[in-house]
Structure 1
Amino acid sequence: MYRSGAVMAWNVFKFCAALRGLGSIMILVVLGVVGVTYYAVVVCNYAPALVDGDLDSLIAVAVLILFHSLLVMLLWSYFSVVFTDPGSVPPNWRPELDEERGDTDPLTESEFGTASSDPVNLRVRYCRKCNQFKPPRCHHCSVCGRCVLKMDHHCVWVVNCVGALNYKYFLLFLFYTFLETSLATLALLPHFVAFFSDGEIAGTPGNLATTFLAFVLNLAFALSVLGFLIMHISLVAANTTTIEAYEKKTTPKWRYDLGRKRNLEQVFGLDRRYWFIPTYSEEDVRRMPALQGLEYPSKPDFDAQEF
């Protein structure tokens, strides 16, 4: 029995190591899809249409301007997620007792490692893998091998954890990916339909194959990203993460749910001019502790079920 458990634990760690090694490949996959789409939309179809004149040229200008604008925002958001640390627990961090409520986050004696009669110690969270205290909403990532502030999930597509400091960038990446892939699908749809027509199709076989492949890829990504985007919008509206939504299961109330407007501000900031770009205003960073991942406002006098 012990041997079987040991083998299972070993396989889990090998799986985590495989996910870490998959990172650079996934970046190449993302850039590859972007490259194929760019070649199909711009090089094969709409750049040549600029010289056609009349309505075709106007449509081509509009498509190219919108396509390049969304592409810039997509790549900016994507690499912001990739290169932004999601948030680590500061060295020697210690929880502070809430003097008004008289508690912090709960912790069972078995998790803490030693029994204690101190009521404060019984309401702190501790990671036995990192050997450190855990701030509220912090979780340990087995792939990264560390605790991540307000961890949502580890995403192989961005080669990084999605947490407190890069969650907004991840949401914008989903948003602009959906818009870009939807635009590419619509732009390539007439050329895709032409494959099944009886008339003669202009273009080299290579360009036609690239157009066909780009249409199928972008349609698939648009549909899949839409579902993922809707899920995360619902999570943000309730001020919860993927992990928290799973853990709280049927809990009817959530201590961090401050209403949709304030919940959105906890992720995107107070300055709405910055909501759709992957950065924050200096004022928001200074005024909102939640953007740093260590302190989160909650409902007053709310006895929530903690994890």
Structure 2
Amino acid sequence: MYRSGAIMAWNVFKFCTALRGIGSIMILLVLAVVGLTYYAVVFANYGPALFEGDIASFTALAVLILFHILLVMLLWSYFAVVFTDAGSVPPNWRPVLDEESGDSDPLTGSEFSAMPADATNPMVRYCRKCNQLKPPRCHHCSVCGRCVLKMDHHCVWVVNCVGALNYKYFLLFLFYTLLETSLATLSLLSHFIAFFSDGEIPGTPGMVATTFLAFVLNLAFALSVCGFLIMHISLVAANTTTIEAYEKRSTPRSRYDLGWKRNFEQVFGMDKRYWFIPAYSEEDLRRMPALQGLEYPSKPDLDAQGL
């Protein structure tokens, strides 16, 4: 029995190590798909159409302008997720306990151990892998090897954990990816249909093959990202994460669910000018503790304040 458990733990460790190793490959893969799409849309099809005159030039110009705007926002959001730390537990972090409202979560699950000998509150969560206290909604990531604030999941596509400090950027990446891939799919649809016609297709065989492949890839990404984005929008509306939704499948609604508007603001901030860009205003960062990943208002808090 012991030997079986040891083998299982060793296999999981190998899997996590492999995920760390393919990081740069996934970034190159994303850039390769972007490059292929850019060549198919700009160089192979709509770039040359700019010089055809009449309505074709106007259509090509409109497609190219919108394509480049969405591409800039997509890449900005993507690299914001890649290079933004999802959130780590500060050294020597200690919770502000409110025993009356029960604001601390009890130790649950196999990833927790008994509190250190000098701990005075048995309700504080503790990670035995990091040997440190855990803020609310914090989870240990086996791939990153550390505790992540409000961890949602570890994403191999962005080579990073998605958590408190970069969740908004991840959602914007999905949003702009959906728009960009949908635009590319629609703009290449006529060229894709022409591939199966009996008429002569303009362009070199390489351009035709690139257009065909770009259409198939963008259609596949648009469909998959659409479902993924819808799932995360529902999570934001309920103020929960992928991990919390999995853990609480049979339990009542989360106590962090304050209504869809306040839930949305805890991810995107209150300044509407920043909702669609991967950044926060300084005022939001200063007045909204939830954006820092350590404190979250909850229903017991509101009850205690009479709100």
Three-state SS of the structure 2 residue aligned to 1:150 is coil
Distance change (3 Å), C-alpha of 1:22 and 1:109: closer
- Whether the aligned pair in 1 keeps the contact of 2:115 and 2:126 (CA below 8 Å) is no
Three-state SS of the structure 2 residue aligned to 1:147 is strand
Provide the residue aligned with 2:70 in structure 1.
Answer: 70
Gaps of 5+ in 1: none
Identity of aligned residues (%): 82
- Whether the aligned pair in 2 keeps the contact of 1:103 and 1:123 (CA below 8 Å) is no
Q: Report how far residue 95 of structure 1 moved.
A: 1.5
Q: Deviations over 1:266-295 (max 9, x none)?
A: 000001111000000000000000000000
Provide the residue aligned with 2:222 in structure 1.
Answer: 222
Three-state SS of the structure 1 residue aligned to 2:57 is helix
Structure-1 separation of matches of 2:224 and 2:109: 43
Structure-2 separation of matches of 1:165 and 1:115: 28
Provide the residue aligned with 1:290 in structure 2.
Answer: 290
- Whether the aligned pair in 2 keeps the contact of 1:116 and 1:122 (CA below 8 Å) is no
Structure-2 separation of matches of 1:244 and 1:196: 47
Pairs within 5 Å for 1:177-216: 177-216=177-216
Pairs within 5 Å for 1:130-141: 130-141=130-141
Q: Report how far residue 113 of structure 1 moved.
A: 2.1
- Which range moves more in the overlay, 35-44 or 244-253? 244-253
Distance change (3 Å), C-alpha of 1:132 and 1:271: same
Pairs within 5 Å for 1:56-205: 56-98=56-98, 100-101=100-101, 103-107=103-107, 111-113=112-114, 121-205=121-205
Structure-2 separation of matches of 1:280 and 1:191: 40
TM-score by length of 1: 0.95
Structure-2 separation of matches of 1:109 and 1:162: 21
Q: Report how far residue 215 of structure 1 moved.
A: 0.2
Q: Report how far residue 302 of structure 1 moved.
A: 8.2
- Which range moves more in the overlay, 189-198 or 107-116? 107-116
Three-state SS of the structure 1 residue aligned to 2:164 is coil
Three-state SS of the structure 1 residue aligned to 2:300 is coil
Three-state SS of the structure 1 residue aligned to 2:147 is strand
Q: Report how far residue 252 of structure 1 moved.
A: 2.2
Three-state SS of the structure 2 residue aligned to 1:140 is strand
Q: Report how far residue 103 of structure 1 moved.
A: 4.8
- Whether the aligned pair in 1 keeps the contact of 2:49 and 2:57 (CA below 8 Å) is yes
Q: Report how far residue 99 of structure 1 moved.
A: 5.3
Structure-2 separation of matches of 1:32 and 1:117: 53
Q: Deviations over 1:36-72 (max 9, x none)?
A: 0000000000000000000000000000000000000
Provide the residue aligned with 1:269 in structure 2.
Answer: 269
Structure-1 separation of matches of 2:31 and 2:21: 17
Three-state SS of the structure 2 residue aligned to 1:229 is helix
Q: Deviations over 1:141-168 (max 9, x none)?
A: 0000000000000000000000000000
Number of residues of Structure 1 aligned to a counterpart in Structure 2: 302
Three-state SS of the structure 1 residue aligned to 2:122 is helix
Structure-2 separation of matches of 1:277 and 1:109: 37
Gaps of 5+ in 2: none
Over the aligned positions, Cα root-mean-square deviation in angstroms equals: 1.9
Provide the residue aligned with 2:247 in structure 1.
Answer: 247
Structure-2 separation of matches of 1:114 and 1:145: 20
Provide the residue aligned with 1:281 in structure 2.
Answer: 281
Distance change (3 Å), C-alpha of 1:109 and 1:32: closer
Provide the residue aligned with 1:10 in structure 2.
Answer: 10
Q: Report how far residue 250 of structure 1 moved.
A: 1.7
- Whether the aligned pair in 1 keeps the contact of 2:103 and 2:300 (CA below 8 Å) is no
TM-score by length of 2: 0.95
Q: Report how far residue 255 of structure 1 moved.
A: 0.3
Q: Report how far residue 197 of structure 1 moved.
A: 1.2
Structure-2 separation of matches of 1:171 and 1:138: 19
Q: Report how far residue 122 of structure 1 moved.
A: 1.5
Structure-2 separation of matches of 1:178 and 1:169: 14
Q: Report how far residue 97 of structure 1 moved.
A: 1.1
Distance change (3 Å), C-alpha of 1:266 and 1:114: closer
Q: Report how far residue 253 of structure 1 moved.
A: 2.1
Structure-2 separation of matches of 1:166 and 1:107: 26
